[in-house]
Amino acid sequence: MTNNPPQTAGFEMAGGTLSVVTHDTLPLTSLFGVAERKNPKRAFLFVSKVLGRHIPIAPATMRQTYCQLAAQIPQDLPEPVLFIGMAETAVGLAAGVFQEAKKQLAQPVFLTSTRHPVSGELLCEFKENHSHATDHLIYQPEDAELRSRALNARTLVLVDDEATTGNTFLNLLQALREAGLDEVERVVTVTITDWSNGDIANRSPLPVDEVALVKGRWSWTPRPDAPVPVMPSVNVTASGTSRLSPYQDWGRLGMDETECRIGTHIVAEPGEKVLVLGSGEFVWQPFLLAERLEQQGSDVRFSSLTRSPIATGMAIESVIVFSDNYGLGIPNYVYNVAHQKFDRIIVCVETPAETVCPALLKQLANVAPHVEVLTYE
């Protein structure tokens, strides 16, 4: 803990009061707002302003976050190093941190957890107990060299957008060790905000380095008379009726090198206000597209379709509700878009274009005169 004076913040919600305290100097309001979750297991959500998930933001801001976190990862990690990103919210964050951190490594490999079963050999399953979708799957890398790196990993770098208790990281660590990763001797957790107050390191059977932009602690005081939130049915880990793209090169089946393979034909005009939307877990390739368009001089924002049910208010100014494109029959959402205006919206999916809900496209047409669906084929 630093000797800086504490920063404190309190947030009054329908269900209770959230309080946070940190001794870090980075202004809390620059990193996140808060909102109410439609989830009886946890009533609040930290809504990141640098993640590109629930608030549309510039790709350059996201890249800066990747660089800041990667720079904090220790340089003396035993190799091979296995990076794992948490679906769905931290898939892109983890891939970005991996892309920056692997520059210093000889044997890196990246995997992401998923809630969409694919054709591959399962490595392990674990639970995110407080989540709206608790079950995660992790597959072994398809490539033989990457699979060897993963199975013989001596360091784990586990990436999520935030840690509130650290239980999810510990559940994952236990699942990986039970799956046979018994060479692991060191763990690094990477988050934007870490409110676990050192509990991950204290409870882990292995040495842990905790990397975050802000560390602190939180407390929740519920209102005795608060209504219990009703959570939509989104806790689904299954194959839907929609066909997934055969290109699983961004994390579910292992990743080492990465380049933008989506929308290579798209050219944006200088100053054109463009919103690029990823979808669910499919966000890394769409982010690379958004970053390329931004570098061409366009005014780009990036965000994503998500299954995370959040109430409007506070950090959530608007919401569009529609059916998912995976054929699971569950509600999906896009936040903080409906009240804005763009020249062009590009919706990126890993399923066929016809799987995108017409209700989503109709509502996006109120936001931008040009709306297009881009598939990863």
- 195 CB burial (10 A radius; 0-12, 13-18, 19+): buried
Q: Is the pLDDT reported for residue 102 higher than 60?
A: yes
Q: Is the dihedral of CA 332, 337, 338, 341 positive or negative?
A: negative
User: Of 109-118, 127-136, 291-300, 352-361, which gets the smallest average pLDDT?
Assistant: 127-136
Query: What is the bridge-based pairing of β-strands 186-194 and 135-139?
Result: unpaired
Q: Among 209, 114, 127, which Cα is nearest to 172's? A: 127
Predicted pLDDT at 83: 98
Question: Do you find a cis peptide bond into 88, omega within 30 degrees of 0?
Answer: yes
Burial of 248 (0-12, 13-18, 19+ CB in 10 A): buried
pTM across the whole model: 0.94
What integer pLDDT is reported at residue 107 of this predicted model? 97
Q: Does residue 73 register a pLDDT over 90?
A: yes
Q: Report how far residue 305's alpha carbon sits from residue 313's, in angstroms, rounded to the nearest whole number.
A: 18
Whether the upstream peptide bond of residue 80 has omega within 30° of 0, thus cis, is yes
Could you give the percent of the chain with pLDDT greater than 70? 96
User: How many angstroms separate the CA atoms of 194 and 167, rounded?
Assistant: 12
- Best CA proximity match to 109, nearest among 247, 249, 256: 256
Tens of pLDDT, residues 14-34 = 889 999 999 898 888 889 999
> Are the C-beta atoms of 323 and 356 separated by less than 8 Å?
no
* pLDDT at residue 363 is higher than 90: yes
250-308 pLDDT per residue, tens: 999 999 988 999 999 999 999 999 999 999 999 999 999 999 999 999 999 999 999 98
Dihedral angle of Cα 135, 41, 19, 86, to the nearest 10 degrees: 10
| Burial class of residue 67 (count of CB atoms within 10 Å of its CB; 0-12, 13-18, 19+) | middle
Give the pLDDT band of residue 319 (cuts 50, 70, 90): very high
Question: Residues 135-160: what's their mean pLDDT?
Answer: 96
Average pLDDT of span 219-240: 79
pLDDT for position 134? 67
Average pLDDT value over all residues in the chain:
93
Distances (CA, A) of 130 to 38, 138, 148, 233: 12, 19, 32, 15
pLDDT, tens digit (0-9, with 9 covering 90-100), for 188-215? 999 999 999 888 999 999 999 999 999 9
Name the band, by pLDDT with cuts 50, 70 and 90, for residue 2. low
